[in-house]
Amino acid sequence: MKKSLGANLRRAALPLAILSAISNSAQAQIEEVVVTAQKRSENLQETPIAISALTSNDMEKRGILDYDDIVKSMPTLSQTPYPSSDLLILYMRGQGVSDPMQVTSDGSVGLYIDGLYISRPQGALFDLAGLERVEVLRGPQGTLYGRNTTGGAVNLITAKPTGEFGFKQSLSFGSRDYFRSLTTVDLPAIKDVAAKLTVLKRNQDGYVKNAGGADFGLNDQLGGRLALRWDASEDLTVDYSLETGTLESSPIYYQSTIDTGLYPGYITGEKPTGKTYRPMELKPSDSEFEGHGLTLTWEASDALTVKSLTGYRELRFDNYQNYAESFTIPTYVFDQIDNRQFSQELQFIGDIGNNFEYILGLYYFKESSDHFQNYFTDLTPVGAGVTDKDRDVTSVAKSQAIYSQVTWTPPVLDNRLELTLGARYTEDEREGTRDYLVNGTAIELNASNDQSFEQFDPSFTANFIWNDELSTYAKVSTGYKAGGSSEGGAPGDFVLSFDPEEVTTYELGLKSEWWDRRLRVNTALFYSEFTDMQLAFGSDAYDLSLIQSYNAGEATVKGAELSVILMPTPDLMLQFDYAYLDPKFDEVIATSGSIFDPAVNASSPYQVGDDIKQLFVLPYAPQDSVNLTADYTFWRSTSVEANATLNYSFQSKVYDSAPAGPAVPNRDFYSRPSYGLLDARIGFVFDLPRGDTATVALWGRNILDKEYRQHVIGTGGASVATPLGPAGFTFTAASWAEPATYGIDLVYQY
């Protein structure tokens, strides 16, 4: 058979392509990434901790715009939107907080901007404009970071003023009237002061249409950031930043997976819908924030750097949620949070000779929060009346700490061994008051609690540098999360509190580069032990919305993390990231005052003190998480470069609540099935005559239009029998994620 002309051309071109790839591969090297995770500028490969980093170039090519995008690109992180659309439930290595709305407790994963802690995740889905890079540190953080967190830390590092004129304008247009404008202006330095201004506007229509009010899933943002850098002297640099923003949004839409027959035309949640089954009253939610940061860096000597980090942040959050009939009865919730936080940190970074390096830090933090919630349910369709609950909580938290880390390189083994000892001492205080009204009647007024805690957390790391391309480390670290109280406890229970949660993590890690730095392989194995784990239980046999937290759990989490980057040619980069989790409850004790206590719930088959671990599972802990990225520059000329990026992320099945263990009937009503998402971007960069550039890029998110549940609430029952019914869940209130979106980016940079 005569071969086609195309087939002959392909055969002829193949050897040339192979020779070209081999020739080009000699020039290919994976980019070095400099991080400051240990308060010094270090190559990521030389930092003996579990850390991942994204540069601004990485984020632009992958379309990473906010925390949600960051989480999807990092398999070790797990997230779901809170019922509010601009608030994330964030977990790392199986550690997190399932209800971040409660201002009387702390999170397990710390969020930072330029090292300044952000205490509340409300408004966390604001666009992260103007970043230089993102660093994600996994495992307990305390001996290097101001706030003690047990799961890890996400640190955003902003691009600082350069002192030279620069301008960048990005415009994006896409599905559902998506629009994004990002303007960045770097101003020439005036004497010793440089300035940088960033202004953002972003909006998109909702993806579930509603004839009676705001659509579900809409987003409208406006924000800006001013950064100033003053080189006060050869030894002193002063950085100041002001950021402010407003975010108007609407919540995600829930559908019940059953049709009770009470509501004609109801659309069940077995499949996503693009519209509500009836007009629904829904106001847009609003977030407003303003943050100030002041960092002074003094190079006191060649062997000592002193830094002062001062932060102040205000947040106002008004959130409206209409659950409609997803719980079989109409349910509406309004939350209003006012938060003010201040932090001051001093760092002393230096070396004292004899191969010793050290970091010493002093930290102070204060947070004041007010949280008002109105919870309204209409029981008329099931033959009862209206329940209208008001909860008003004030919380004040203070934390102060001293921390240190010392690294010694002993004069043996050709100075290839590094031994690091860290320690932290923390004192925390927390006080709160609550008023509780039901149908306008005061059930509880000025209920209060006042707590204080102190904790010592050590860590130790041994790092061995085999050669310039290979190192291995062993690490043991401890962490603690302060105690608190439950906003959502039953009337009379606010005086109850819970103690700190503690974790000890053992970790082995390897960092390596091969094939003349064209292949990078990093991996970590870890084993975490939790004591006094803070768990939330129902505290009322009839009203399952009343939740109390207790120190009831002992758990272990085993896991493995792998990151592989291959760059066979200068034009092709392949990346594979994988995380494996094996969480297990070792013990959960039935506590007094919970629905497992027969004195509260006569239907409970358990006694106070019983081990009920079979009723629990660690939520938001997928067994397998994968991220695959292919970045290919398929065309280069003297003035044009064309690039294509594919990114695939996968997450296996998770449970969205702890009381959904293997012994709970119909536990899968509280689970989210596994899913995978494919994103794509193709961009063309044009070099213009004056040294400026223009970029045109086409992009798509979830281009296969995968239908998946982003958040579920198991309902119709509880993990234990109550007077309302037997144990287990009977249906799901499900929220489906937004469908595929497409768009175009237009960028000009000078």
Report pLDDT digits (tens) over 281-339.
999 999 999 999 999 999 999 999 999 999 999 999 999 999 989 998 889 999 999 99
- What pLDDT is recorded for position 20? 45
Looking at the chain, the number of H-run helices and the number of E-run strands are 3, 37
Pairing of strands 519-538, 731-736: unpaired
Whole-angstrom distance, CA of residue 134 vs CA of residue 58: 10
Contact 245, 224 (CB under 8 A): yes
Write out the two tokens for 375: 């919870």
- Strand partners of residue 221: 202, 247
Q: Structural domains in the chain?
A: 25-749 (2.40.170.20)
> Would the pTM count as exceeding 0.75?
yes
Residue 646 has a CB neighbour count (10 Å cut-off) of 16
Q: C-alpha distances in angstroms, 428 versus 398, 400, 533?
A: 6, 7, 18
- With a cut of 80, say whether residue 8 has pLDDT above it: no
For residues 132 and 310, the answer to whether their CB atoms sit within 8 Å is no
Tell me how far CA of residue 641 lies from CA of 31, 632, 634, 684, 687, in angstroms.
19, 11, 8, 6, 9
| All residues at 6 or more sequence positions from 532 whose CB lies less than 8 Å from its CB, including other chains | 499, 500, 501, 502, 551, 553
Most confident of 72-76, 102-106, 604-608: 604-608
Encoded tokens for 581: 């989790």
pLDDT at position 2:
40
DSSP label of 689: T
How far apart CA 524 and CA 451 sit, in angstroms, is: 37
- For residue 687, the cross-strand partners are 693
Which tokens sit at 134?
A: 């993102």
Write down the pLDDT at residue 1. 38
Provide the pLDDT confidence category of residue 128 given band limits of 50, 70 and 90. Answer: confident
Side chain identity, residue 13: A
Amino acid 431: pLDDT: 95
pLDDT of residue 6: 42
Q: Which residues contact 126 (CB under 8 A, 6 or more apart)?
A: 66, 86, 221, 223, 245, 247, 287, 289
Are the beta carbons of 137 and 110 closer than 8 angstroms? no
Average pLDDT, the chain: 91
Calculate ∠ Cα 610-616-617, nearest 5°: 150
Q: How far apart are the first and last CA of the chain?
A: 57
CB-CB contact of 329 with 383 (8 Å): no
Question: Is residue 75 a contact partner of residue 456, using CB atoms and an 8 Å limit?
Answer: no
Torsion, Cα of 690, 692, 698, 702 (10° steps): 170
* Strand (E) or helix (H) holding 5: helix 5-25
Q: Give me the pLDDT at residue 125, please.
A: 67
Q: What is the DSSP string of 536-601?
A: EEE--SS-TT-EEEEEEEEEEEEEEEEEEEEEEETTEEEEEEEEEEEEEEEEEBPPTTSTTSTTT-
The CA distances from residue 135 to 37, 110, 114, 332, 718, in Å, are: 7, 12, 10, 38, 39
**Do 650 and 625 contact (CB within 8 A), yes or no?**
yes
Three-class DSSP category at 85: coil
CB burial readout 118-140, b (16+ within 10 A) else e: bbbbbbbbbbbbbbebbbbbbbb
The pair of structure tokens assigned to 168 is: 């960048």
Most confident residue range from 24-33, 89-98, 704-713? 704-713
Task: Provide mean pLDDT across the span 23-45.
Answer: 79
Mean pLDDT of 552-580: 96
Return the closest-CA partner of residue 245 out of 401, 377, 127, 369.
127
pLDDT of 27 reads 65
- State residue 149's pLDDT score: 83
Pairing of strands 109-113, 152-158: parallel
Secondary structure (3-state) at 669: helix
Q: Is the separation of the CB atoms in 372 and 399 below 8 Å? A: no
- Residue 38: the pLDDT is 85
Q: Which range (1-15, 136-150, 193-207, 334-348) has the least confidence?
A: 1-15
Of 625, 509, 574, the closest CA to residue 45 belongs to 509
Beta strands in 656-720 (DSSP E): 671-672, 675-687, 693-701, 709-715
Structure tokens at 598: 């027969």
Q: What mean pLDDT comes out for the span 233-262?
A: 94
Who wins on pLDDT, 77 or 290? 290
Instruction: Please state which of the ranges 17-31, 161-175, 216-230, 377-391 shows the lowest mean pLDDT.
Output: 17-31
Residue 590: closest CA among 545, 535, 541: 535
How far apart are the C-alpha atoms of 426 and 401, rounded to whole Å?
A: 4
